[in-house]
Amino acid sequence: MRIAAIDIGTNSIHMIVVQVRPDLSFEVVDREKEMVRLGAGGLDGRSLTPTAVTAALQTLAKFRRLADSHKVDEIVATATSATREADNGGDFIAEVGRQTGIRVRIITGTEEARLIHLAAGYGVDIGGNPAVVIDIGGGSVEVTLGSAAHLTLAQSFKLGVIRLTERFVKSDPLSEGDERRLVKHINKVVGDYVDTIAARKFDRVIGTSGTILSLGALALSEEGVADAEELRNRRVSAKAFRRIRKRLSGADLEARLHMPGLDPRRADIAVAGSILLDTILRRLNAGQLTLCDLALREGLVLDYIRRNTSRIRKVDRYPDVRRRSVMELGERCGFWPEHAQQVARLALSLFDQTRAVHQLGEREREWLEYGALLHDIGVHISYEKHHRHSYYLIKNGDLRGFDPAEIEIIALIARYHRQAAPKRSHDGYGSLKGPVRRMVRALAAMVRLAEGLDRSHSQTVSGIDVVPRGDEYLVRLRAGGDAELEAWAAVRHAAPFEKLLERPVRFEVAGPDHKERPSHAEQPDHAARVPGEAVRRRGHRRVGQDDATGTAGEVA
C-alpha cells in the first residue's frame, strides 16, 4: 500500500510518499517541499492573502499529480496554524478539494503536537524513556513530553517564526530592545508550561522542523563538522545554539544570506527562530538537543497505519526501532534471513568468548550484530563486489534510531566481511580515529569468520567454542551435519581473527555433544582438514600495528 501524507503548514507545504509494507513499517519513496509562506500576513484571525492561496493551490495541484504518478492508495492531508486561524481558512480548504480532490483535515494544536511526538519517537531511539520534543513552525511551536509509546504532556503555542518575526523583528540587525521584548513575550506565553516540564525527569530533548534543522546545520557548520548536512540524530549542544543566536541577532539580512549551513530561504526568520529555541532550551536547563528529520507528515503516516490495528505485526515482533529498522532494510534488499541470523549468532558467540582480548562493550556488540545481519544485502544489486554494495545500501538505507557515526560503523563492518582488509585509503574507514578503526577491524574479523562458518548457508554449525591452548587458540565447531565446507572456509577466513587474538587459530569439528568427530580426531593436530588443503599457519602482527597493508591469506 502507498500513502501520500501532506502537511499544509504556515511556512511550507510538505509531502512524503511512502510504501507501507506488510509488516506495517514504511519507507519514503518520494518527498517534496515548497515554501509558500501561506501564513504571511494572515495570522491572528486575518485572511490568507490571495497570493499565498494561489501559491498553495498550485503547489497542492503539483503534489496531487506526483502522488498519482506513484499510484498512491490514500492521501492523508492536514492543515495547521495558518489555516485554522484564518477567517477564510474554510474557503481555502474547500477550494483545495474542488481543484485537486484532496480532502484536508484542519487539526488542533494539541493534535499537531501529538503527531509530531509520534514521529519523533519513531525516528529517534527514545524507547520507554521520557523525552521532550520541540517543533518550531511558522505559526506555532509544539512542546511535548513523553516516551515513544506514551504521551504525558502536549501543547501548542502561537509562537511560530513568521508570527514572531512580523510582530517583533522591526530592525536589521535586531535591536536589543526588540530582542528583550521578544524574549519577554516568549517567556510569558510558554514559560510556565516549560517550567512544568523542566521539573520532571527526561532523558533528552529532540528538535524537529525546518527551522530547528536549519539552525542545527548552521551550528554544526560553525563547529567545523564536515558532513553537517547529515542531520539525522545529530546531537548539538545548547551552548552552540546560544552562540548561533548571538551571531544571527548581530548580523543583518545580507550577512545571514551568506552564512554557511543556513538555508537562505530562512534568513529573514532565522533570528526569531534562534531566540525562541534558545529561550526554551534555557528554561528546560537542557545541555543538548538531538536533531530529528521526521515531523508532522511522518506522524500522519504512523497514525494512519496504527489505526489499522489488525495489520500491525512487525512492530510487535521488533519493538526496538533500531532492530526493526535493520530488519526492514534486510527485507527490502531481499536478504537470506536464515543465513544472516546464523552469521550474526556465530559472530556474537566469537565476540562473547573473546571479550578478555578485545575488551569491547555492549554498544559494539550491537553494532556487530547489525553489521552481520546486513552483511550480504549488497547481493540485491550484484553478487560481484556485493560487500561494497552492502556498504552503500546501509549508508543510504534510511536506518532509524542510529546517528551517522553508528551507521558508518555498521556499514564498514559489513563492507569488510570479504575481500580486501580495511585500509586507510578506503572511503569512510580512513577518516575514523585510530581506536574506532581498530574496533571496526576487530568486529569485521568476527563477521568474516562467522560468514565462513556458514559457507554452505545450511546452518550446519550449531555452536562454537573458542578455547586458548598454549600459544594458539582452538575453535571447536559443534555441527549437526557435514561441516567440511564450513571448516575449509573458516581456515580461509581466519587471518583477521588471528590478528585480533595475536595467536594462531586451528579448527576442529565435533558433534553437537562436543565430542570430536572420528575423521578429525585421527588427525595428528586434531585440526579440521579438507582433502588437498592443509591447515595454514600465518605470521602475526600486533593489533595496533599499521593497518595500511592487507592481511596475509585474505581472499581476493
CA 238-242-244 angle, 5° bins: 115
The residue whose grid cell reads 503548514 is 9
Residue 538, pLDDT score: 38
Answer yes or no: are the C-beta atoms of 457 and 336 closer than 8 Å.
Answer: yes
pLDDT in tens, 442-476: 999 999 999 999 998 999 999 999 999 989 999 99
Local confidence band at 311 (pLDDT 50, 70, 90 cut-offs): very low
Q: Does 191 score more than 80 pLDDT?
A: yes
State the pLDDT at residue 419: 82
Q: Is the pLDDT of residue 201 over 90?
A: no
pLDDT reported for residue 310: 52
Predicted confidence (pLDDT) at residue 521 exceeds the cutoff of 70: no
Confidence category of residue 208, pLDDT binned at 50, 70, 90: very high
Q: Report residue 541's pLDDT band, with 50, 70 and 90 as the boundaries.
A: very low
Q: Report angle CA 515, 516, 522 to the nearest 5 degrees.
A: 145
> Among 362-376, 380-394, 435-449, whose mean pLDDT is lowest?
380-394
Q: What is the pLDDT of residues 96-134, one digit of tens each?
A: 999 999 999 999 999 999 999 999 999 998 878 899 999
More confident residue, 549 or 400: 400
Most confidently predicted of 271-275, 325-329, 523-527: 271-275
Q: Which residue has the higher pLDDT, 221 or 411?
A: 411
| Residue 288 clears pLDDT 80, i.e. is over it | yes
- Look up the CATH number of domain 333-521: 1.10.3210.10
User: Of the ranges 2-16, 261-275, 318-332, which one carries the lowest mean pLDDT score?
Assistant: 318-332
d(CA 75, CA 5): 6
Q: What is the DSSP string of 316-348?
A: HH--SHHHHHHHHHHHHTT--HHHHHHHHHHHH
Per-residue pLDDT, 468: 93
- Lowest-pLDDT choice from 131-140, 192-201, 223-232, 541-550: 541-550
Which has the closest alpha carbon to 137: 284, 303, 12? 12
Q: Of 138, 60, 135, which Cα lies nearest the Cα of 103?
A: 60
What pLDDT, on the 0 to 100 scale, is given for residue 383? 87
Q: Do domains 2-106 and 110-297 have the same CATH topology?
A: yes
Look up residue 529 and give its three cell numbers.
582438514
Q: Quick one: average pLDDT of 478-490? A: 90
Domain ranges across the chain:
2-106, 110-297, 333-521
Fold of 2-106: Nucleotidyltransferase; domain 5 (3.30.420)
Residue 324: band (very low, low, confident or very high) from pLDDT cuts 50, 70, 90: confident
At 38-79, the pLDDT tens digits run 988 767 778 999 999 999 999 999 999 999 999 888 899 999
- Of the candidates 459, 463, 468, 426, the residue with the CA atom closest to the CA atom of residue 444: 426
Provide φ and ψ at 472, rounded to 5°: -145, 175
Determine how many CB atoms are found less than 10 A away from the CB of residue 378: 25
The CA dihedral of 347, 352, 353, 355, to the nearest 10 degrees, is 120
Confidence of residue 228 (pLDDT cuts 50, 70, 90): low
Q: Which grid cell sits at 170?
A: 522591526
Superfamily of the domain at 110-297: Exopolyphosphatase. Domain 2 (3.30.420.150)
Res. 515: pLDDT tops 50: no
Q: Which residue(s) pair with 208 in the sheet?
A: 135
Average pLDDT score over residue span 13-22: 89
pLDDT by residue (tens digit) across 349-375? 999 999 999 999 999 999 999 999 999
Q: Which of 465, 550, 470 is nearest to 507 (CA)?
A: 465
What percent of the chain has a predicted confidence (pLDDT) above 90? 68
